[in-house]
Amino acid sequence: MTIHTDAAGHTLGARIHPETHQVLHRDVRQQVFKADDGVVVVADLPGWYPEADGEPILTADDEKIRVRAVAALNALQRGFSPASP
C-alpha cells in the first residue's frame, strides 16, 4: 500500500485532532455501549481515529450511527427488540 504525504510529512486524507494534535485517519472501529444493568450493544462506528486509542471525531453521518446504537441499547433495556438499521 502506498501512503502519500505532504511536504510536512502528514498523510494526505488525514486530519489533525484540534485538541490533542494527533494525526487522525478515517476508520471503522467497534464501539461497545454498556448499560448499568448489563445490557450491551456493539456497533461498527466510522469516524476519524488516532493511531492509538483515543477519542474520534465523528461526522454528522457517523453520529447518526452512534445515536442508533444508543437507541437500540435503550430499547433492549426496556424489553423491546431494536429496529434493524
Highest-confidence range of 4-8, 70-74, 78-82, by mean pLDDT?
70-74
* Count of the separate structural domains present in the chain: 1
Mean per-residue pLDDT for 59-78? 93
Q: Which domain holds residue 43?
A: 15-77
Please provide the DSSP assignment of 3-69 as one string.
--B-TTSPBTT-EE-TTT--EEEEEEEEEEEE-TTS-EEEEEEEEEEESSS---B--HHHHHHHHHH
Is 82 contained in some domain? no
Summarize pLDDT for 8-22 with one digit per residue, the tens. Answer: 665 667 788 888 888
This model's pTM is above 0.75: no
Domain at 69, CATH number? 3.10.20.860
Is 38 contained in some domain? yes
